[in-house]
Chain A
Amino acid sequence: ETGVTQSPTHLIKTRGQQVTLRCSSQSGHNTVSWYQQALGQGPQFIFQYYREEENGRGNFPPRFSGLQFPNYSSELNVNALELDDSALYLCASSLHSGSPYEQYFGPGTRLTVT
């Protein structure tokens, strides 16, 4: 069984740039959720994708967008980067119809915006 993978591991961008982060879900999982974790905080829900459609969104502006592909992998895109976007971005996969909706995290992408 393959776990959740994310790429890249680390990324440094300049304010105003755009970034794309990638995630491959655990084998057998059809739902991907993205979270942002600032230093010293718990993860905050950005959005979730199921059947290639957004299935719930947290309190994040529209410059945070995403995609899910037929193989259940997903991308998180952030436009017009701001310094406050510096954080650990976590992807979690789960089985939509399963119980208890356990979510398993990938290793994360550390984004630094300068």
Chain B
Amino acid sequence: QKEVEQNSGPLSVPEGAIASLNCTYSDRGSQSFFWYRQYSGKSPELIMSIYSNGDKEDGRFTAQLNKASQYVSLLIRDSQPSDSATYLCAVNPLGGAGSYQLTFGKGTKLSVIP
């Protein structure tokens, strides 16, 4: 069974610090990786996507991918209270062929303390 694992948290960081969120996946053939942010009572919002090994930066967010270790992470620099949410890691296990279903982890709850 293809699985995506995340630490459920809660992860608490002080305002202005770097928040580090981690995710591992079991399907070695996975090619596409996504991070979604979900505020309480709302739907998931796509914040980052990554496909190649290495880092991808977008504003305060950096996604890191290591396919050999089957590991993907999200760094949030200068964390703000508005970043407090659940962060979902999602993986496309088929590498883009056929159904583009996403397999999600259970999410990590992040709390940024003012």
Interface residues of A (CB under 8 A from B): 31, 33, 35, 40-45, 48, 55-58, 88, 90, 92, 94, 96, 99-108
Contact = CB atoms under 8 A, between A and B. Distances in A.
Contact of B46 (A41, A56, A102, A107): A102
16 contacts: A33-B102, A40-B106, A42-B4, A42-B105, A42-B106, A42-B107, A45-B102, A48-B99, A48-B101, A55-B98, A56-B99, A94-B100, A101-B100, A102-B46, A105-B44, A107-B43
B44 A31 contact: no
Contact of B92 (A42, A43, A101): A101
Interface residues of B, number: 25
Nearest to B89: A42
B61 interface: no
Given A42-B106, A105-B44, A107-B42, 10 more contacts: A33-B102, A35-B102, A42-B88, A42-B90, A48-B99, A56-B99, A90-B44, A101-B100, A105-B43, A105-B45
Interface in B1-41: 4, 32, 34, 36
Among A35, A43, A92, A106, the most chain B Cβ lie within 10 Å of the Cβ of A43
B43 A106 contact: yes
Contacts of B42: 107-108
Contacts of B90: 42
A104 B42 CA distance: 13
Given A104-B46, A105-B44, A105-B45, A33 B101 contact: yes
A58 B93 CA distance: 13
A58 B107 CA distance: 19
Contacts of A41: 106
B32 A101 contact: yes
A42 B37 CA distance: 11
